[in-house]
C-alpha cells in the first residue's frame, strides 16, 4: 500500500505597507504593524499560482501589469472581496477610452484619479483584472488576490507618495479602454460557483455546512483558501485564514466542518 498523500498547510508571509492596517482579523491575528499583504508560500518550492490577502487603510497606487512577453510571465489577477467599509471602491479600467498622450498628462497632473472607473464593492464581489488593465484598490478593503506567479508592477500614479514610478513602462503596456466591472458567479453544483477562469487560473467558491468527500484533480495541484469556517480537512484541522495545497497525487479526503465554511478553490487549468 502506498503512502497516503494529504493536503499541505501553506506558510504565510506578512508584508508591511504604508497603506496597510492593523485590522487583519478574523483571518490573521491583529498586530501593531501595518500589514498590507499576507502571502501564502510553500516550503522550498514556487507555487504555480500566487495567493495573497490584501488589507488597505489608504488607496493603493494606480498601476498596471504587463502581459506575457519573451518567455517572461505577465500578471493577470483576480480579487475576491472579503470586507469593505462603507463607501469602499475599487478602480478598474477607464471611464472612457483615451489616448496615450492624454493618459500620460493625467498621470503627471493627478487627473488620472478622475479617469479611473471607481466601482463600489462589498463582501462577496469578484473582479477579474487581465494584464494591461489600469487599476487601483481603494481604502477600507480586505480581499483575496489570486494571480500569475509574478510580481511585475508598473506604478503610474501614487498620490504624491515618495515612491518610484514606472510611468513610461506602464504607458507602453496599458489598455486605454474600459473594463466590464464585477464578475458574475456561474453556478457549478449545489454550493459551488465559478468566479473566474482564464489561461492562468480557475477559481471557484465552495460553501457548505455538512461533511463532504473532496476528490482532488488527478494531474494538477489545487489550493484551498479558507475564507470562513473551521473543522477537519483529512486528518488535519483547518481554520479561517489558512490555505492548503492539494498535491497532484493527493488521495480523496473528507472535509468535516465544525462551522459553516466558505472556501476558494484555485488551480492552473
Q: Are residues 133 and 85 in the same domain?
A: yes
**Residues with Cβ < 8 Å from 16, sequence gap 6 or more?**
33, 34, 35, 36
Residue 171 C-alpha from the chain's centroid? 24
The CATH number of residue 210's host domain is 2.60.120.10
For residue 171, give the C-alpha cell.
504607458
Q: Are residues 208 and 254 in the same domain?
A: yes
Residue 84 lies in a domain: yes
For residue 193, give the C-alpha cell.
460557483
Domain boundary residue among 125, 147, 173? 173
Domain boundary residue among 121, 139, 173? 173
Let me know if 34 is a catalytic residue.
no
| Beta-strand relationship, 89-94 and 49-55 | unpaired
What does the pLDDT profile of the chain (269 residues) look like in tens digits?
Answer: 445 678 999 999 999 999 999 999 999 999 889 999 999 999 877 899 999 999 999 999 999 999 999 889 999 999 999 999 999 999 999 999 999 999 999 999 999 999 999 999 999 999 999 999 999 999 999 999 999 999 899 999 999 998 899 999 999 999 999 999 999 999 999 999 999 999 999 999 999 999 999 988 767 899 999 999 999 999 999 999 999 999 888 888 999 999 999 999 999 99
Per residue in 199-258, pLDDT (tens digit) is: 999 999 999 999 999 988 767 899 999 999 999 999 999 999 999 999 888 888 999 999
For residue 88, give the C-alpha cell.
469602499
- pLDDT of res. 246: 93
Q: What is the C-alpha to C-alpha distance for residues 195 and 125, in angstroms, rounded to an integer? A: 9
Q: Are residues 139 and 116 in the same domain?
A: yes
Q: What is the C-alpha to C-alpha distance for residues 229 and 204, in angstroms, rounded to an integer? A: 17
Would the pTM of this model clear 0.75, i.e. be above it?
yes
Domain boundary residue among 144, 173, 202? 173
Q: What is the C-alpha to C-alpha distance for residues 257 and 251, in angstroms, rounded to an integer? A: 19
- pLDDT of res. 213: 93
Residue 195 lies in a domain: yes
Residue 18 lies in a domain: no
- pLDDT of res. 3: 56
Q: Are residues 70 and 162 in the same domain?
A: yes
Catalytic annotation, pick one of 34, 132, 155, 262:
155
**What's the structural domain count of the chain?**
2
- Beta strands (DSSP E) in 22-105 are 35-41, 49-55, 62-64, 77-84, 89-94
Residue 5 lies in a domain: no
Q: Which residues constitute the domain of residue 257?
A: 186-267
Residue 61 lies in a domain: yes
Q: Are residues 207 and 250 in the same domain?
A: yes
Q: What is the C-alpha to C-alpha distance for residues 261 and 229, in angstroms, rounded to an integer? A: 4
Q: Are residues 120 and 156 in the same domain?
A: yes
Q: Are residues 154 and 67 in the same domain?
A: yes
Residue 20 lies in a domain: no
Amino acid at each position: 500500500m502506498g503512502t497516503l498523500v494529504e493536503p499541505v498547510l501553506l506558510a504565510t508571509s506578512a508584508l508591511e505597507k504604508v497603506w496597510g492596517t492593523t485590522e487583519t482579523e478574523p483571518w490573521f491575528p491583529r498586530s501593531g504593524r501595518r500589514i498590507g499583504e499576507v502571502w501564502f508560500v510553500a516550503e522550498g518550492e514556487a507555487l504555480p499560482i500566487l495567493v495573497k490577502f490584501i488589507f488597505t487603510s489608504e488607496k493603493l497606487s494606480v498601476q498596471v501589469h504587463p502581459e506575457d512577453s519573451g518567455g517572461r510571465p505577465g500578471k493577470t489577477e483576480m480579487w475576491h472581496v472579503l470586507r469593505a467599509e462603507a463607501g469602499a471602491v475599487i478602480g478598474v479600467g477607464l471611464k472612457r477610452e483615451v489616448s496615450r498622450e492624454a493618459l500620460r498628462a493625467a498621470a503627471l497632473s493627478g487627473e488620472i484619479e478622475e479617469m479611473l472607473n471607481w466601482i463600489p464593492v462589498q463582501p462577496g464581489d469578484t473582479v477579474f483584472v487581465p494584464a494591461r488593465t489600469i487599476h487601483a484598490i481603494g481604502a477600507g478593503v480586505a480581499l483575496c488576490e489570486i494571480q500569475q506567479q509574478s510580481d511585475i508592477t508598473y506604478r503610474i500614479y501614487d498620490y504624491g507618495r515618495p515612491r518610484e514610478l514606472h510611468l513610461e513602462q506602464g504607458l507602453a503596456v496599458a489598455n486605454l479602454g474600459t473594463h466590464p466591472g464585477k464578475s458574475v458567479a456561474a453556478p457549478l453544483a449545489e454550493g459551488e460557483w465559478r468566479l473566474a477562469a482564464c489561461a492562468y487560473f480557475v477559481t471557484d467558491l465552495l460553501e457548505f455546512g455538512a461533511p463532504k468527500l473532496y476528490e482532488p484533480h488527478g494531474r494538477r495541484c489545487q489550493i484551498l483558501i479558507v475564507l470562513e469556517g473551521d473543522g477537519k480537512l483529512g486528518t488535519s484541522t483547518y481554520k479561517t485564514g489558512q490555505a492548503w495545497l492539494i498535491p497532484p497525487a493527493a488521495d480523496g479526503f473528507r472535509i468535516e466542518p465544525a462551522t459553516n465554511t466558505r472556501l476558494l478553490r484555485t488551480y492552473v487549468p
